[in-house]
Amino acid sequence: MVEEMTSMERVMAVLNREEPDRVPVVFIATTIGAREAGVNVPEYATDGKKMAEGQLNFLKRYGVDLVTPGSGIASLAEAFGTTTKYYDTQYDSPAVGEPAVKKPEDWEKLEFKTITPGMIASLEAGQIIHDEVGDTVPIMGGIISPLTVATWVAGMSDALRATKKNPEALHKGLKIIADQESQMVEAQISMGAKIFMVVCTRATRDIFTDEQYAEFGIPYDLKVLEHLKGKDAHVMVHVCGNVPMLKTIIEKYPISAVNWWDRGTQYNLEEIKEKYGDKIIIVGGLDQTRTLIIGTPQEVEEQAKDAIRQAAAGGGFMLSAGCELGAITPPENILAAVNAAKKYGKYPLSL
């Protein structure tokens, strides 16, 4: 049996295609940090010290293997000129308000206007966390697919309309967005990020066709990924939706790992492990919409056990939810997931 590893050693062993001591647990846990810090989201999202406190409390309380300083989608959109709506609760993420792109010609005028309070807070939090934990726990940075950003700065319906009515203008805007992502990569690496999650929430046939994503999504995603080439960092893509373009992402993108809602789509862990297990690290197994929120700890344990059975053999698997961990997730269910990884996920596996 492998000696007990630190979280950094455990996660990096998996990413380097080695067997760890046990299956890592790596939630995307952003807004829930407000609850763990005992503050409401507006304060958490704009105060680096509170954000760090929430992430460190989450780490210590549950024994997870990764931290994710950040507050959701609105902060990056705000940098391009949108407004941000804050809700004075512990559970509601900041939301995009007034769009920055209101007419076709605005796409080519799009610019990175400012480092927003949310971005400053996440960078400050990352540095505080790194000072506290050193290299024992990985900090995950975040990069957003340019097409996803486009649907925030213009609104979903207007971005969709632009693919048909104003494709040249949209391409200009996407190029501007992709070019600016390099600044965020460098800033996050400087605060200790070892893993980057590239959020491709629009790579789903619920929203775009394969042809649309091939034109407006893939080229700009790959341009963003170029910013990480040669860096000492691994890349995980998160794909949303009921009909994700999962195989396209796995086959075309230079990435280490992929996360999707395996409990809510046609792509289960076992199938993807069998087909792509020699190419990609699989991250998932827990249903963030049902089991983690309204299930019992016993049901969480059983789902985690099933996920480990499907995908953990030989390494190459990290237990997680299929999307962000809901801010209302009961603490006992988070603990049940971590305890299940310790109980059933030790190598060599004996399921």
Residue 229 · residue 215 · CB < 8 Å = no
Distance in angstroms (rounded) separating the CA atoms of residues 220 and 240: 18
pLDDT digits (tens, 9 = 90+) for 114-143: 889 999 999 999 999 999 999 999 999 888
Instruction: Please give the pLDDT value at position 164.
Output: 96
pLDDT value for 191? 75
Residue 1 lies in a domain: no
Which amino acid is it at 229? Answer: K
Q: What confidence score (pLDDT) does residue 55 get? A: 98
Average pLDDT of span 17-21: 95
Conformational region of residue 199, where left means phi above 0, alpha means psi within -120 to 50, and beta covers everything else:
beta
Within 13 A of 348's CA, how many CA atoms are on the CB side? 0
User: Is residue 351 in some structural domain?
Assistant: no
% helix, strand, coil for the chain, step of 5: 50, 15, 40
Kindly state whether residue 284 falls inside one of the protein's structural domains.
Answer: yes
Least confident of 10-14, 170-174, 230-234, 239-243: 230-234
Quickly state the pLDDT bin for 52 (edges 50, 70, 90). very high
| pLDDT for residue 87 | 93
For residue 67, being part of any structural domain is answered with: yes
In a domain, 350, yes or no: no
Instruction: Please determine, for residue 1, whether its predicted confidence score (pLDDT) is greater than 60.
Output: no
Q: What is the tens place of the pLDDT at every residue in 334-349?
A: 999 999 999 999 999 9
Q: What is the pLDDT of residue 33?
A: 97
pLDDT at residue 350 above 80? no
Q: What is the mean pLDDT of residues 35-42?
A: 96
Q: What is the pLDDT of residues 160-219, one digit of tens each?
A: 999 999 999 999 999 999 998 877 787 788 777 889 999 999 999 999 999 999 999 999
Query: pLDDT tens digit string along 306-336?
Result: 999 999 999 999 999 999 999 999 999 999 9
> What is the structure's pLDDT at 231?
83
Contact 118, 94 (CB under 8 A): yes
pLDDT band at residue 351 using 50, 70 and 90 as cut-offs: low
Domain enclosing residue 79, as ranges: 7-344
Number of domains observed in the structure of the chain: 1
Residue 196 lies in a domain: yes
* Residues counted in the chain: 351
Identify the band that residue 236 occupies on the pLDDT scale cut at 50, 70 and 90. very high
In a domain, 2, yes or no: no
Helices (H), the chain: 7-15, 32-37, 41-46, 48-62, 74-79, 106-109, 117-133, 146-153, 156-165, 167-190, 210-216, 218-226, 246-252, 269-276, 291-294, 297-311, 331-344
* pLDDT tens readout for residues 244-267: 999 999 999 999 999 999 999 999
Per-residue pLDDT, averaged over 225-237, amounts to: 88
Mean pLDDT (the chain, rounded): 94
CATH of the domain at 193: 3.20.20.210
Residue 3: the pLDDT is 78
For a pLDDT cut of 90, what percent of the chain falls above it? Answer: 86
**Whether 48 contacts 124, CB under 8 Å:** yes
